[in-house]
Structure 1
Amino acid sequence: MINAIQDYISYLHNVKRTSHNTEISYERDLKKAAVYFAGQQIGDLTQITATNLNSYMLYLEREHMSPATVSRNIAAIRSFFQYMVREHKIQADPSEQLKPPKVEKKAPSILTVEEVDKLLRQPDGETMKGIRDRAMLELLYATGIRVSELIHLKMGDVNLQMGYITCTERGKDRIIPFGETAKKALEHYLEKARASFLKGKTSEYLFTNCSGTPMSRQGFWKVLKGYAADAGITADITPHTLRHSFATHLIQNGADLKSVQEMLGHSDISTTQMYLNMGIYKIRDVYTKAHPRK
């Protein structure tokens, strides 16, 4: 089954041109399923039945997986078996009747402009690490890119003179501008700090860790969590919180949906439309807390 999974991931990458994050999560989910089936003495794809898949879903629920995680596993499994049928590796699709659990849609968490400002002022501008971290945070909020895109940015993706970065996903480039504040933070990092992380080595990546290698998602998440605590932000902040805040603040200040959609890289504008409601959610929250007759 592992070889079949690798073939499928190659298909996603080379033919479907799915995002790197999708490939990673699907591969992880499918390999987890393969381990489970191996434990059930099922080593061949043709042996897997609808009953086996339902048992696996119950196993995931017993493992206290969230509905969203179970839904993603189901999406990976269904897509995998559909591919196997198309490739004539199996005759029938055992995943046809799998139904994802209902996932409650929550409004994305966002920071106020004041909270973002406080967060971005936390890195110590007198240290190499602080200079790098400020440049990363400023660029993340200035462009709304995903953390995976941030840590994979290369030197050639940044045009300081014109003030924009280029992100490539599924073979398509998108150009995202950034303002003077982010530009100054990047210039300061490139002039004063980047060489100290490389320690004489060369790297095509814009940001690196202390070993001169690209920073991991987990590494940046820890950096962000630390500065959020220093800023006194009690909300459960993630790198995506800055992406949500970027989009919401743009729309609240008059940006049109189409432009925000292009900067975020959303294929469907309906995904971007949720940010229209974020201002309403914030106002409602204030009302609920403050009005004497709620």
Structure 2
Amino acid sequence: MLQEAVDDFVTSIANGEMERSGGSRNTIMAYRNDLGQLCSYIRALGITSWLHVTREHIADYVQQLREAQVYRPTTIARKLAAYKSFFRYLCQKGLVTRDPSLGVLLPPVERGLPQIMNAEQVQTLFQLADRDTPMGVRDLAMLHLLYATGIRASELVSLNVDHFCAQDAAIKCVGVRGNVRFLPLTSVAMDVLELYLLRGRPRFIRHASEEALFVNHHGERLTRQGFWLIIKGYARRAGIEDLTPHKLRHAFAMHMLDSGMDLGSVQELLGHAHISTTQFYCQLVSAQPK
């Protein structure tokens, strides 16, 4: 009965019946391998039905993966996620009365702290943009918007002109999951954005129907790839290695936390689904030299 339930679960993934299952070949193979190993462990305990598996069984197995088999935390986290999906499936099918994976915690995943841009480097980027050219004004507006709001690069290039709320000094941002958040703008970001709308964007636009806030030299919406090339160009001129738009997002989060903003507010501004993602920045603040 143990393996039969696993086979049914994997088949449901392959057929796209499970929410957020993906159904790719790699996903299916990972689930089959991870749950096959769990089956062998449970069977070795003399248990023949998932009904008799307890939270202690799952917690002990995770502990064994960590200590006896010395799996990396990221691998254990993936395996436990597979177990949780499997037991949710069993609960939905009425094959178990409770989920034994509930309350089993993921091992801490160690991540290297990313390098953070300092204020001097950010100012260097701003100074490199030429305010006397439409392209320079556009680039300066994008850089200021990134640093002032922590907006993602994908969200930045998705902005439309009507997302700029001048009266409220804010940008309406539609996030990666469709959630809407209003990001306050600094006075400097406001000034540069208004300058771009006055002297930059009109020089690029070829069709009055274009809605995009940031456009390329063809007057069309700037792509994420195009924006990355722009960032790389400024990084090269500034002598900053491995600069990405996400590093400006990191710098924004650090600045907000360092200035005393509470973690929940920073989470809301960044659009993080889970507070644990935002908590990572607390490590960065602590690691910075005083």
The answer to whether the superposition gives a TM-score over 0.5 is yes
Distance 1:215 1:103 in 2: 36
Structure 2 residue aligned with 1:125, among 128, 131, 139?
131
Does the 8 Å CA contact 2:128/2:234 hold for their aligned counterparts? yes
Contact 1:248 1:278 in 2 (8 A): yes
Q: Give the structure 1 partner of residue 171 of structure 2.
A: 165
Is residue 74–residue 109 contact of structure 2 (8 Å, CA) maintained in 1? no
Q: Does 1:203 align with 2:210?
A: yes
Counterpart pick for 2:185 among 162, 178, 188: 178
Q: Percent identity?
A: 39
Match of 2:39 in 1: none
Distance 1:197 1:73 in 2: 47
Aligned to 1:150: 156
Q: Distance in 1 between matches of 2:155 and 2:224?
A: 10
Shift of the 83–192 alpha-carbon distance from structure 1 to 2, 3 Å rule, reads farther
Instruction: Determine helix, strand or coil for the equivalent of 1:162.
Output: coil
* Superposed structure 1 runs of 4+ greater than 4 Å apart: 4-9, 67-88
Deviation at 1:168, TM superposition (A): 2.3
8 Å CA contact retained: 2:137, 2:195: yes
Amino acid at match of 1:272: T
Question: Is 1:8–1:80's contact at 8 Å kept on the other side of the alignment?
Answer: no
Task: State the distance in 1 between where 2:211 and 2:15 align.
Answer: 28
Identify the residue that residue 10 of structure 2 maps to in structure 1: none
CA–CA distance in 2 between the matches of 1:8 and 1:113?
49
Task: Give the alignment of 1:43-54 within 5 angstroms.
Answer: 50=32
Distance 1:73 1:178, change over 3 A: same
Structure 2 unaligned segments of length 5 or more: list them: 1-12, 37-71, 94-107
Q: Name the CA distance, whole Å, in 2 between partners of 1:140 and 1:193.
A: 18
Q: For the residues of structure 2 that align with 1:125 and 1:71, how far apart are their CA atoms? A: 51
> What is the TM-score with the length of structure 1 in the denominator?
0.63
- 1:85-100 equivalences in 2 (<5 Å): none
CA distance in 2, matches of 1:72, 1:211: 46
Give distance in 1, aligned partners of 2:268 and 2:186: 17
The gaps in structure 1 that reach 5 residues or longer are: 13-25, 35-44, 55-66, 89-101, 285-294
Partner of 2:224: 217
In 2, distance between residues paired with 1:80 and 1:215? 39
Taking structure 1 as reference, are residues 266 and 126 closer, same or farther at Cα in structure 2, changes over 3 Å only?
same
Let me know the Cα RMSD of the aligned residues. Answer: 3.8
In the alignment, the residues of structure 2 paired with residue 150 and residue 103 of structure 1 have an alpha-carbon distance, to the nearest angstrom, of: 30
Does residue 107 of the first structure (1) align with residue 107 of the second (2)? no
Question: With structure 2 as the length reference, what TM-score do the two structures score?
Answer: 0.64
SS in 2 for 1:203: coil
Give the Cα–Cα distance (whole angstroms) in 2 for the partners of residues 6 and 187 of structure 1.
51
Q: How far apart, in 1, do the equivalents of 2:289 and 2:216 lie?
A: 40
The number of aligned residues is: 227
